[in-house]
A and B are shown apart, each in its own frame.
Chain A
C-alpha cells in the first residue's frame, strides 16, 4: 500500500501540472460516488435518530428530517417505563458476552494448532472442521437434534450451537499463519517453553488485531441474529431483543399493508417508539464500532487473504 502511494506521488511530480488537472476530474467523480454511497449509509440513521427524539405530533406531520423537532426523550422514557425491552436488552447482553467468551476460546483452540504447518494430520483435521461450512444438515434435523439434547426453549440453544464457527476459525488461522513467524516460536522452544506457554505468552499478545476482529464478529453475529429465536425458543422471556424489534417491525408492516393508510399505521405502532427502539438496540454496536474499527480492518485484511 505504502509503496503504491509513493509511486503515485512521484508520477504527479514528474508529469507536471497537466497530469494533476487530468487526474482531478476522475478523482472528483470517484470521491463524489463514494460520498453519495456513504451518505446513503448514514443519512437513514440520522433520520431515525432525529425521529426518536422528536415529539409524536411533529413526526406525524412529516416535519422531521435530519434534525429533531420539539426535542423530547418521551419515547426513550416509555421504553424504560415499560421495562420489557430493557429486560430483554440485559438478557441479550449477557447471552452475547457468554457467547463471545466461549467463541473466542473455541476459535483460538482450533486456529492456533491448525496454523502450525508442522502439525501432523493438519490437512485432514482442517477438512474435518470445514465440512459443516459447505454442507449443513438443514433446519429440521438440527431442530430434532436440539430437542434430543433438551436444548429447545433454553437459553443455551442461543449460545452453544453457534460457538464453533468455521468462518471465524479460517480467518484467525490465516492470520496466525501469516503473522507469527516460525523463528519466534523456535527460540521459545529452545528455552524449553511448551506449546501452550508459547500460545499464551507469545502468540496471543502479538495477535491483538485478530482477537479484536474475531470477538467483534462473534459479538455482532450473536447480537444481530434472531432466526434461531424463532426456530428454537418459545417463551417470550428467553427471546433476544432483536427478535422483539423484528416483531414490532412485522406488526407495523402488517398494519401498513392491511389498513392501507399511513395514518392508521402510525396510530397502531407509534413511529417514534419504533425509532427509539432501533436506536436503543443499535447503540451498543455504535458504541464499540469506532474503537474496534482500526483493529478489524487490519485483522480482516491479513486474515482474509487466502493462505
Chain B
C-alpha cells in the first residue's frame, strides 16, 4: 500500500493558479472566436427545433394517444402498446420481411462497391476510367420514382426490353414476370438496389485508396509482387478501416428500409410479400391514425439500429480497429 503523501501547499497554489489561468485562457479563446460560436447557433437552432424537439413526442409510445385529447390529456398505459404491437401478426410479418430483405440487401450491396473500386483503381486508360465513373455515378442521382418508372418499362413481361432481348436470344420462350411475381420480384428488387448505389459507393473507397503510400507499391514490386498480390496485401489492408466504418454505419440500417424504394415497386401481386416496417409505420400511423402503435414501432426500429451500431463499434474497437468515434 502506498503511503499517502500530504499534498504540499505550494502545489495546491500552483494548481489553483493553473485552473485560473486555464479559465482565463478559455475566456480569451471564447472572446477571440465569438463569431464562430455565433455562426454555430444557426445549425444548432435548426437541429433543436426540427430534431431534438421531436424526441419528447416519443412518450406517446407509452400512452394511449388520442389526437383530440393531445399530449396532456391522453392516458398513460405503460408498456401495453408495445405488448399489443409485438403480438400484432402484421408487425411480425413486417419485422421478418424487413430483416430478411435488409440483410440480403446488405450482403449483396456491401461487397460489390469494394470490388468495383479495386477494378476502377487498376484501370489503365484515364479517359476510359473517367467516363465510366461518370456513368456509374449517374443512378445515384435519380429518384426512386424515375428508377421505378424505368424499371417497369424495362422489365414488362411482354413489351419490356429485357424480356424481348432474352426471347430473341432464345434463352426463354415466355416473358419473365420480373416485378409481378414474388420471387422474381425479390431478385429484381435487390438487383436494382445494387445497381443504384454500386458506382456511388466506390467514391469513398477510391478516396481511401489514394491515401495509401505509393512507396508500399514500389517496394512490393521490387519484391516481385504481381497485381493481385499487391491488391490483396496492400490495397485491401489499406482501406480496411474505411470498410469497417462503412460496415458499422450500414448495420444501423438493417431495420429501416427506404420507404420510397419499397413504395415504388409495390403492386397488387407482391403487396403482402414485401410488407416491411417502413410501410407498417406509414399505414398504421398516418393512414389508420394509430399513433401510439406506429411510434412504438418507430422507436423499436431506431433503438435496434442504434444498438447495432454501438455493439459493432465496440467489437471493431476491441479487434483493434478505429471504429466510428
Kindly state the separation between the CA atoms of A88 and B46 in the bound complex, as whole angstroms.
27
* Cβ A297 vs Cβ B203 within 8 A: yes
User: Any chain A CB within 8 A of the CB of B86?
Assistant: no
A114 CA / B42 CA spacing, docked (Å): 13
> Is the CB of B320 closer than 8 A to any CB of chain A?
no
A306 and B142 contact, CB distance less than 8 A = no
| Given A41-B136, A47-B153, A253-B267, CB of A138 within 8 Å of CB of B227 | no
B134 within 8 A of A: yes
Pairwise interchain contact B217-A7, C-beta atoms closer than 8 A: yes
CA distance A108 to B39 in the complex (A): 9
Which of chain B's residues have a CB closer than 8 A to the CB of A116?
Answer: 33, 36
**Chain A residues closer than 8 Å to B203, beta-carbon distance:** 297, 300-301, 304
Closest to A107 in B: B43
Q: Chain A, 259-289, contact with B by CB distance < 8 Å: what is the 0/1 string? A: 0001001100001001101100110010001
Q: Does any Cβ of B come within 8 Å of A80's Cβ?
A: no
Output the nearest chain B residue to A136 by Cβ-Cβ distance.
B302
From A7, A106, A140, B46 is in contact (CB under 8 Å) with: A106
Instruction: Answer yes or no: B269 CB below 8 A from chain A CBs.
Output: yes
Once bound together, how far apart are the Cα atoms of A141 and B214, in whole Å? 51
Q: Which of A119, A137, A160, A254 contacts B33 (CB 8 A)?
A: A119
Note all chain B residues with C-beta closer than 8 A to A26: 122, 227
Which of the residues A35, A118, A245 comes within 8 Å of B145, measured between beta carbons? A245
Contact across chains for A31 and B123 when beta carbons are under 8 A apart:
yes
| Interchain CB contact (< 8 A) of B285 among A27, A34, A35, A143 | A143
**Residue B11, interface by CB 8 Å:** no
Interface residues of B in 222-248 (CB under 8 A from A): 227, 241-242, 245
B68 at the interface (CB under 8 A from A): no
Contact indicator B46/A48 (Cβ below 8 Å):
no
Total contacts A-B at CB 8 Å? 295
Question: Is B286 touching A143 in the complex (CB atoms < 8 A)?
Answer: yes
Chain A, interface size category, equals 35 or more
> A-facing mask of B57-89, CB < 8 A → 1, else 0?
110100000000000000000000000000000
Please tell me if the beta carbons of B266 and A257 are within 8 angstroms of each other in the complex.
Answer: no
Inside 8 A of A42's CB, which chain B residues have their CB? 135, 138
Q: A262, B40: Cβ atoms under 8 Å?
A: no
- From residue A265, how far is it (CB to closest CB) to chain B in Å? 8
Contacts of B50 in A (CB 8 A): 145, 160-161, 164
Residues in B with CB closer than 8 Å to A265 are 156
Interface of B is mostly: helix
Say if the beta carbon of B281 comes within 8 Å of chain A.
yes
Contacts of A301 in B (CB 8 A): 203, 206-207, 210
Q: Is B39 within 8 A of A138, CB to CB?
A: no
B110-130 Cβ-contact flags toward A at 8 Å (1 or 0): 000000100110111000100
Q: How large is the interface on B (under 10, 10 to 19, 20 to 34, 35 or more residues)?
A: 35 or more
B132 within 8 Å of A (CB atoms): yes
Task: Please give, as numbers and ranges, the residues of chain A lying within 8 Å of B302 by CB-CB distance.
Answer: 135-138
The chain A residue sitting closest to B205, CB to CB, is A304
A48 to B281, CA, bound (A): 34
**A305 touching B218, Cβ below 8 Å:** no
| Whole-angstrom CA separation of A245 from B260 in the bound complex | 12
Q: Contact check: which of B37, B58, B153, B204 meets A138 at CB < 8 Å? A: B58
Pick from A114, A118, A145: contact of B29, CB below 8 A: A118
What is the bound-complex CA distance between A253 and B155, given in angstroms? 11
B172 at the binding interface (Cβ < 8 Å): no
B263 at the interface (CB under 8 A from A): yes
Beyond A116-B36, A120-B29, A129-B44, whether A278 also contacts B146 by CB under 8 A is: yes
Taking a contact as CB atoms under 8 Å apart, the answer to whether A1 and B210 are in contact is yes
A-B contact pairs, 10 of them (CB 8 A): A31-B128, A38-B131, A110-B39, A131-B52, A134-B309, A137-B302, A249-B149, A249-B264, A262-B156, A285-B141
User: B residues near A, CB below 8 A?
Assistant: 26, 29-30, 33, 35-37, 39-40, 42-44, 46-47, 50-58, 60, 116, 119-120, 122-124, 128, 131-139, 141-146, 148-150, 152-154, 156-159, 161, 164, 179-180, 195, 198-199, 203-204, 206-208, 210-211, 214, 217-218, 221, 227, 241-242, 245, 252, 259-260, 263-269, 281-282, 285-286, 291, 294-295, 298-299, 301-303, 305-306, 309, 322
Contacts A107-B43, A262-B156 aside, 10 further interface pairs with beta carbons under 8 A come to A41-B138, A44-B154, A132-B52, A145-B50, A227-B259, A230-B263, A242-B143, A277-B149, A305-B208, A306-B241
